[in-house]
Chain A
């Protein structure tokens, strides 16, 4: 199956810094989802995007659905210790009006905050 190119693979930042990560694909997606995963836990949904150009915020998090429908980015402002974890993007191509097409996941961005 295809995978999304997610970058960077890892980030080491100081508390209070802003963070930016992105995902790109060779395919067009109709939906972009951003998840956060803590060690040993399941991913938790952060933001869902459904329209090209859409910009959506959730607290200090902002995500955008790229105009070309082949990319998305996630920004975190003023990072805090609980932001540590792995962030995954996921995209879906809608093929039909019936049923749920599969999600394709990025390889993740591991965020570490340096004290």
Chain B
């Protein structure tokens, strides 16, 4: 099946530890994104990547890092510098807009990883 995989579904860490969240897609999408969702709030963009070996900061990048060494993979590291890391993390991917004939790119989301840091 084609889609976006995030693992694990639930992750628990002690404060002060770095943790890496996995995101894999087999949709052949060029662009990938990481969002953070807090209870009762919308989605906020952490980092995004439009092409392999390139990525840009989103609205709340502080305390996070990413890499994009392969087209299908976009791991997110939550570092100890992130002051409030407990949240629901969502990965998404889309086709680059310049590869589309009309309309626009649509972000498709993975199932999410709930990270709890104590």
Contact = CB atoms under 8 A, between A and B. Distances in A.
Interface of A: 1, 3-4, 6, 30-31, 33, 35, 40-45, 48, 50, 88, 90, 92, 94, 97-100, 102-103, 105-108
Nearest to A31: B104
Contacts of B4: 42
B18 to A, nearest CB: 24
B63 interface: no
Contacts, number: 77
B103 A50 contact: yes
B97 A88 contact: no
B58 A102 contact: yes
B97 A105 contact: no
Contacts of B40: 107-108
Interface in B80-106: 88, 90, 92, 94, 96-98, 102-106
Contacts of A102: 45, 48, 58-59
Nearest to B100: A100
A45 B108 contact: yes
Interface residues of B, number: 33
Given A41-B112, A105-B43, A99 B103 contact: no
A42 B110 contact: yes
A31 B58 CA distance: 19
B114 interface: yes
A30 B103 CA distance: 10
Nearest to B92: A42
A82 to B, nearest CB: 18
Given A100-B94, A100-B97, A107 B42 contact: yes
A100 B105 contact: yes
B44 interface: yes
Given A3-B42, A97-B98, A43 B105 contact: no
A54 to B, nearest CB: 11
Given A40-B88, A41-B111, A105-B44, 13 more contacts: A1-B45, A4-B42, A41-B112, A42-B4, A42-B110, A43-B43, A44-B109, A50-B103, A99-B50, A99-B96, A100-B31, A102-B45, A107-B42
